[in-house]
Structure 1
């Protein structure tokens, strides 16, 4: 099959489009997926840079993989179709089912050799859900890792009805899902955008930071307060928040705007108490729980306007993602 891969750590220059990669074997609890669309995530390029070493037996402590013959196919998020090979223990899915999910259960601790940037990939049944009927494959592929990170972290933090939240990095893949749902509708259509935090958890107020260029975008997502971080310091706000969701690595500043008894969810950068590190564990049950919100339109994917990128432009898509200028998710489509 065709697949993007690398066999040494480095920048986009180590990525190669291969034409003869072996289709992965299907284990008893897995299905084989014909990939239709896949999304990129920062963890993909951080893993390629070697930032998450050591990564079990796949990697050495040095700068190279175990051997030049061992390739890693990146990619966590997938949307596609279950094809002929279904593991003997799989009960929920069958050939022809349209599914989506984050196919790597533990993002750092248990990497997968063959990810989603390929014609075919495998996934454990427990990591998948049926694709929401109202979403196309590009929209569905953009969601799993980001929406699970948003949802699981809010749940772990004990976020509940009536509480307030400040999202640092509101225009990013995770941040945009914490505060929004409606960007897929035409701009000319008058609509009320609702938030994951409000729709699912009942937030009383949502504030979010962004650059000047993305301020209107964050407002359009439904933030009650949009803060231009190039012009004002969020820690100077007169109000405090029950929870700060730090997606940009500013926990040392975030703790200054947390109410007594509140906390800071940290998904990037160093942790300062009362902040806590959150690393997502992929779980198809979370996707199933959120599917009704997606199918009703209360939660909607946000796609970066430069995409989707075609399969032969994966290296260009990563270069763009690594600038930290993406708005929403960067998706690869179509995949041959």
Structure 2
């Protein structure tokens, strides 16, 4: 559908570098050609993820799609067209998802920071009716990462967990999933001083101020430590004998005892958790500075890059 009638405005970078230097607004980035198993989505909202700016910096250029690229993984929007093999969705459906099956292996050239994007039906789910487009866009990559990491750690009811980076996009969801869905004996989480109350409101039994305490020196040890910040070497000191450490932040080195989790995007996880989203057991956490309007996408990136965001940074509305 590279038709001249539809103009697709979007944010593009044509070379690797810092978002503030390379990301530019373009009036027409082209509309993605629709494959048989894909739907065309009119984007309403898109969330930013650390993988977006790491990709822009060229951290995984050997497996990346070469620029020019429209960044963006998370989307919420409305189906405008369906491929011939699509069975789950019809035109007009409100959907959401992480459009890239594997984060660092050939992510799409036209991502979600544009008016239109295309995605395979298997990575999408119907948007729960109680969620706004902003809330829905904030969830897919972080929720699928949170859930998949817990599965990798063999987390189950009655276990205890320590979440490193509890106020971030993934951390806020790990706390809620363990507390309200899996059934936890105790959930502890780390954050800076001003965010401890948020951790408690999400369900943390113990909120640890990492500016004042070293979590690995606590006398208490945990069945699972979920590391979202890249501190696996310290995390292994906080886990019980025979427990599990999962990290989603591969820094220079990952402790040998830790398991590295890399998400594979799938709408089935979103479908599985739909009752928990609809009941309000699991809520989207949107950074209070947002949502950022489409015109302020560069500012949204520079804020995310500070590492100080609470929950998710979302761009909305996308006109």
What is the TM-score with the length of structure 1 in the denominator? 0.91
Match of 1:271 in 2: 254
Q: Give 1:217 deviation, angstroms.
A: 1.7
The answer as to whether partners of 2:179 and 2:203 remain within 8 angstroms in 1 is no
Residue 101 of structure 1 pairs with residue 97 of structure 2: yes
* 1:269-304 CA distance string (max 9 Å, x none): 231132011100000000000011000111100000
Match of 1:172 in 2: 168
The answer as to whether partners of 1:219 and 1:226 remain within 8 angstroms in 2 is yes
Match of 1:68 in 2: none
Residue 242 of structure 1 pairs with residue 238 of structure 2: no
Match of 2:148 in 1: 152
Separation (CA, whole Å) in 2 of partners of 1:260 and 1:109? 35
Match of 1:110 in 2: 106
Match of 1:218 in 2: 199
Q: Give 1:53 deviation, angstroms.
A: 2.5
Separation (CA, whole Å) in 2 of partners of 1:79 and 1:39? 9
Match of 1:189 in 2: none
The answer as to whether partners of 1:114 and 1:121 remain within 8 angstroms in 2 is yes
Q: Comparing 256-265 with 141-150, which one deviates more in the overlay? A: 256-265
Q: Give 1:249 deviation, angstroms.
A: 0.7
Separation (CA, whole Å) in 2 of partners of 1:79 and 1:209? 30
Match of 1:19 in 2: 27
The answer as to whether partners of 2:96 and 2:125 remain within 8 angstroms in 1 is yes
The answer as to whether partners of 1:4 and 1:118 remain within 8 angstroms in 2 is yes
Secondary structure, counterpart of 1:256 in structure 2: coil
Residue 76 of structure 1 pairs with residue 59 of structure 2: no
* 1:195-242 CA distance string (max 9 Å, x none): 211222111110000011212221222200000011110011111101
Separation (CA, whole Å) in 1 of partners of 2:203 and 2:137? 23
Secondary structure, counterpart of 2:41 in structure 1: strand
Match of 1:192 in 2: none
Residue 331 of structure 1 pairs with residue 314 of structure 2: yes
Separation (CA, whole Å) in 1 of partners of 2:166 and 2:307? 13
Q: Give 1:251 deviation, angstroms.
A: 0.6
Q: Comparing 200-209 with 28-37, which one deviates more in the overlay? A: 200-209
The answer as to whether partners of 1:255 and 1:273 remain within 8 angstroms in 2 is no
Q: Give 1:86 deviation, angstroms.
A: 0.8
Separation (CA, whole Å) in 2 of partners of 1:177 and 1:152? 12
How many equivalent pairs are there?
A: 309
Residue 161 of structure 1 pairs with residue 153 of structure 2: no
Match of 1:203 in 2: 184
Residue 259 of structure 1 pairs with residue 255 of structure 2: no
Separation (CA, whole Å) in 2 of partners of 1:178 and 1:157? 12
The answer as to whether partners of 2:157 and 2:184 remain within 8 angstroms in 1 is yes
* 1:76-117 CA distance string (max 9 Å, x none): 00000001x210000010000000000000000121101000
Separation (CA, whole Å) in 2 of partners of 1:24 and 1:108? 20
Runs of 4+ in 1 over 6 A off after TM superposition: none
**Where do 5+ consecutive residues of structure 1 fail to align?**
60-64, 66-70, 180-194
The answer as to whether partners of 2:167 and 2:310 remain within 8 angstroms in 1 is yes
Separation (CA, whole Å) in 2 of partners of 1:94 and 1:274? 46
The answer as to whether partners of 2:12 and 2:70 remain within 8 angstroms in 1 is yes
Q: Which of 12, 36, 41 is matched with 1:5 structurally? A: 12
Separation (CA, whole Å) in 1 of partners of 2:106 and 2:121? 16
Residue 54 of structure 1 pairs with residue 62 of structure 2: yes
Residue 43 of structure 1 pairs with residue 40 of structure 2: no
The answer as to whether partners of 2:188 and 2:206 remain within 8 angstroms in 1 is yes
Separation (CA, whole Å) in 2 of partners of 1:199 and 1:168? 18
